[in-house]
Amino acid sequence: MTDFYIPEEPTPAAAIAAIGEDLALFDDWMDRYEFIIELGRKLPAYPAQWQDDTHRVRGCQSQVWLAHELQGERLYFTGASDAAIVSGLVALVLRVFSGRTKAEILGTSAQFLKDLGLIGALSSNRGNGVAAMVERIHALTAAA
């Protein structure tokens, strides 16, 4: 049985607000990066058999895989990356989108990444990659 990410916050908006509060605790981006890396270390284990082309997120500089499962009215996601900082970004994205309804997921754009300063603080390749994760989640949701 795969452990899908279970969010603590009740809505995507609440998760985004909580992430903003977490990031605001740190004075500089090096400390924020360490925090993000630590989030990645806490992700549920990702099955090795899903580290394949079907689950791979295109557009990411690093290897990134996402899987999902529909449970009732909610979609749950799990993910992994071969890079520490990107694993943390996967954790942030899952915190916003996993365990939500289709309407909540499709109603939440990648704009929060810019609003939180994540896109501007990342290399352009990583910024494009994290946006690609959100696009993949939207595509999986629309198809579910």
**Residue tagged active-site, from 16, 19, 60, 105:** 60
**Angle, CA 104 vertex, CA 42 and CA 92 arms, to 5°:** 20
Distances (CA, A) of 39 to 23, 71, 102: 12, 24, 25
Token pair, residue 119, equals 């896109």
| Total number of residues shown for the chain | 144
Q: How far apart are CA 33 and CA 44, in angstroms?
A: 20
CB burial class (10 A; 0-12, 13-18, 19+) of residue 133? buried
Q: List all residues 6 or more positions away from 113 whose beta carbon is below 8 Å from its beta carbon.
A: 119, 127, 130, 131, 134
Active-site residue flag, 13: no
Residues noted as catalytic: 60
